[in-house]
Amino acid sequence: MEFSLSRTEVSRFEYRSEAASTNDVLKERAVADAAAWPDLSAVVTDNQTQGRGRLGRVWLAPTGKALAISVLLRPRTPAGDSLAPHQLGWFPLLAGAAMTRAVRGVVEASMQPVEGVKEAEDPRHDVTLKWPNDVLIDGYKVCGILCELLPDASGIIIGAGLNLSLDEHDLPTLTSTSLLLVTRTAPDPDKVLAAYLHELVALYRAFVGANGDAQRSGLHADVSALCGTLGSVVRVQLPGGTDLVGTATGIDAEGRLNVVNQDDGEDRSVAAGDVTHLRY
């Protein structure tokens, strides 16, 4: 694949016909030769054989039907300083917001009326971000994101797995979907990827340009507007093995999810956890 559009969005772009894990490939290259792999370098494949998601989950898809995308960020403020550790929690949300915007654009374009063709009576589709980094269409997962620090903490790798043209028999779970299933048209991988990279770069540059201030850069407002978790009743599986059930009310200044516990009414800030949207 040429990916002519996507190549123009980043500083270095490498397509691989197969990769065990694009995150691992990019991590190895970035550590071995930092000068050759600058900020906003990307590795992409449509055949990832050992992909992984959050909490050690396996992420696999049939060859040619999904994209595995890894982007290297080496964030520095305008003065050349590193970001503070607490600011790094915004990167999964930043990537999730970028992918949500890109996917929403693809889905909305598929619903535009065609001249001379009777408008379909299909329902509108709801494309949202599930805190912290899943993209959902009508509540079904189309993309997951995994962020990892380089071993020397000199950069962050943002890995995304996007379901492009999986059919019903290919889906990894009953709560998954693909762009093909939603739009009924096989998506152009280059156009979708270029849209994601464009949104990612714009949000990233605004964030670091504001010295990692999510409020001043507009990232907090953008993520909050896209996040379908807010206002929902959720179950959060916390790292210690306990569950928190309550209503998600907002996102704080460090990107943590605010949840009002349904048992005691206490407002909790969640930095990490597996979130399930509950439906009653």
pTM: 0.92
Each residue's pLDDT tens digit, 117-175: 455 555 689 999 999 889 999 999 999 999 999 998 889 999 999 999 999 988 888 89
Cβ atoms of 251 and 227 closer than 8 Å: yes
- Are residues 235 and 175 both part of a single domain? no
- Are residues 21 and 138 both part of a single domain? yes
CA-wise closest residue to 58 among 135, 146, 157? 146
- Are residues 207 and 236 both part of a single domain? no
- Are residues 128 and 176 both part of a single domain? yes
Angle (CA) 137 199 90, round 5°:
85
Confidence of residue 19 (pLDDT cuts 50, 70, 90): very high
* Residue 240's CATH number: 2.30.30.100
- Are residues 8 and 91 both part of a single domain? yes
Helix axes 219-226, 189-209, angle to 10 degrees: 140
- Are residues 163 and 252 both part of a single domain? no
Q: Which domain holds residue 204?
A: 4-225
- Are residues 122 and 193 both part of a single domain? yes
- Are residues 182 and 79 both part of a single domain? yes
Q: Kindly report the number of other CB atoms within 10 A of residue 184's CB atom.
A: 10
- Are residues 98 and 188 both part of a single domain? yes
Mean pLDDT, range 38-47, rounded to an integer: 97
- Are residues 175 and 65 both part of a single domain? yes
Provide the number of structural domains found in the chain.
Answer: 2
For residues 22 and 70, what is the distance between their CA atoms, to the nearest angstrom? 6
Bond prior to 92 in cis (omega within 30° of 0):
no
Amino acid at 197: L
